[in-house]
Amino acid sequence: MEIRLIAADSSAVETECLVAIALDHGDKQKPVLKLAGKNTAAEQAIANLAASGEIAGKAGDAALLHNPQGLKARRLLIVCAGPAGGFNHVELRKAAGTALRFLKARSVRSCAFALPELGSGAEDAVRAIIEGAYVADFDPDTYRSDRKDQSMKETVVVVPPGTDSSRLQRALDQARIVGESQNFTRELVNEPSNRLTPTLLADRAKKMCDSVGLKCEIMGPDKIKQMKMGAFWSVAQGSDEEPRLIVMRYEPQGAPEKPMLGLIGKGITFDTGGISIKPSEGMEKMKYDMAGGAAMIGAMRAIALLKPNVKVISIVCATENMPSGKAQKPGDVQIAMSGKAIEIINTDAEGRLVLADGLHYARTLGCTHLIDAATLTGACVVALGMVNAGVFANDEDAYRHFTRALEKTGEKFWRLPLDSEYTDIIRSNIADIMNTGGRWGGASTAAAFLQEFVDDTPWVHLDIAGTAWMEEAKGWIAKGPSGIAVRTLVEWVKSYENSN
């Protein structure tokens, strides 16, 4: 998709479709729709549509007008972004995505957005439009034989004449990088496991790193065993597909030695549950169990291109979790890289095993702050549904950096508890800890397990099991992989750029 910025009167822009955002300034009994910007012709069109009852101001409402009077655009698309009092960059991102998917479905391949007035400023508005457009442009129909190219060819953001466009152009360029990186993550998550084995995931990561100037090291089973990553290897041993340890490094010249940020991702390219096998219903979706690792790969792509002045190492532990004569069994005891002994209670609690060695390895490489992402527990989905992802933290300053990142990205996370009692639940009689604490509080006992491998290193854990896959399409995003956490991971890293 080609994206560009132009400074002009939006009424005079020649385009296949001009997109205008409308806001409801009324109340529940009497909606009052007004344009979130300046365009007399569009404002009149919105008033006429509201008077006819065709749009009522609910977020996501849209109406398309052909040959609109007073505009040079061939069409005018009005998209409602809900109440004016709640309008922010999050709602604008969704509205932009709604516009793009509305037009794509009608074979419109070029559009221009009239820049709305946003309280946080024009730069945030530009970022929201471009990020929303990229998210909306993704479709998961990769292998359909009748697939048609429905991608938007051109998206233009129209800013008022006389605007200092240099700042807005930078915002647009940054948003393009983030949007492309989020979609790169979604492409990886969307791949079936026979076309994205651990080896192929590592190859894709290496190719990406080469293209953006990142250092990348790929290690196979011999190295994993040599480094005594017993927790990681215990999961990998049951599969005929070899595991891969992916290490990506972003080390800009002149960056301070500390902080060194560690991004660790769960890369289970297919999860059967192992000997503790999952029910067959819905198992096909378990190709998405590498979404945390894919988010790290996508985030590293964006970081390399945005060039924050902070050092980052990302580790993705990639393997399948399969039942076989070689697979680990409930009751086995595995020794992690850290030396901790783990009693295996359930082989389907495998994500925390690979992350345990990934987190410890990051610390041995010198990482001073850690963040991990994983489709880790069904318990988190039970607790939060498919609306919020879970977040845990052992350090308040690291968590404050994370919440500041959320304010910019609008991704939905909810903090869950990490009290010491959850650690007590996973104590083992035969080993140091068990890999599951039973049915109750499963998201917190999983986080407590991971905490055993970070000690006092500042650490944030993201459980994205309920939100990494959209079970149904929304107006602004297709059904399928969401790419959650990429935007927030990037902002979390950027937040440490001037922390010294």
Q: Mind giving me the DSSP string for 181-229? A: HHHHHHHHHHS-TTTS-HHHHHHHHHHHHHHHT-EEEEE-HHHHHHTT-
pLDDT of residue 242: 98
129 and 97 in contact (C-beta within 8 Å)? no
Burial class (CB in 10 A: 0-12, 13-18, 19+), 115: buried
Catalytic residue annotation: 278, 352
Residue 389: predicted pLDDT: 98
| ∠ Cα 319 246 221 (to 5°) | 55
Distances (CA, A) of 173 to 93, 178, 205, 332, 496: 16, 9, 23, 51, 21
Answer whether 2-155 and 179-494 agree in fold.
Answer: no
pLDDT per residue as tens digits for the range 130-149: 999 999 999 999 999 988 77
pTM for this entry: 0.97
Question: Is 458 exposed, middle or buried, given 0-12, 13-18 or 19+ CB atoms closer than 10 A?
Answer: buried
Alpha-carbon span 136 to 88, nearest angstrom: 18
Report yes or no: 151 and 108 within 8 Å, Cβ to Cβ. no
Q: What are phi and psi of 90, to 5 degrees?
A: -65, -50
pLDDT at residue number 500? 60
CATH architecture of the domain with residue range 179-494: 3-Layer(aba) Sandwich (3.40)
Architecture of domain 2-155: 3-Layer(aba) Sandwich (3.40)
* Peptide bond connecting 259 to the previous residue in cis, omega within 30 degrees of 0: yes
User: Which residue numbers in the chain have pLDDT < 70?
Assistant: 29, 500
**Which pLDDT belongs to residue 54?**
85
Q: What is the pLDDT of residues 415-463, one digit of tens each?
A: 999 999 999 999 999 999 999 999 999 999 999 999 999 999 999 999 9
- Domain range annotation of the chain: 2-155, 179-494
pLDDT for position 172: 98
Q: What is the pLDDT of residue 4?
A: 96
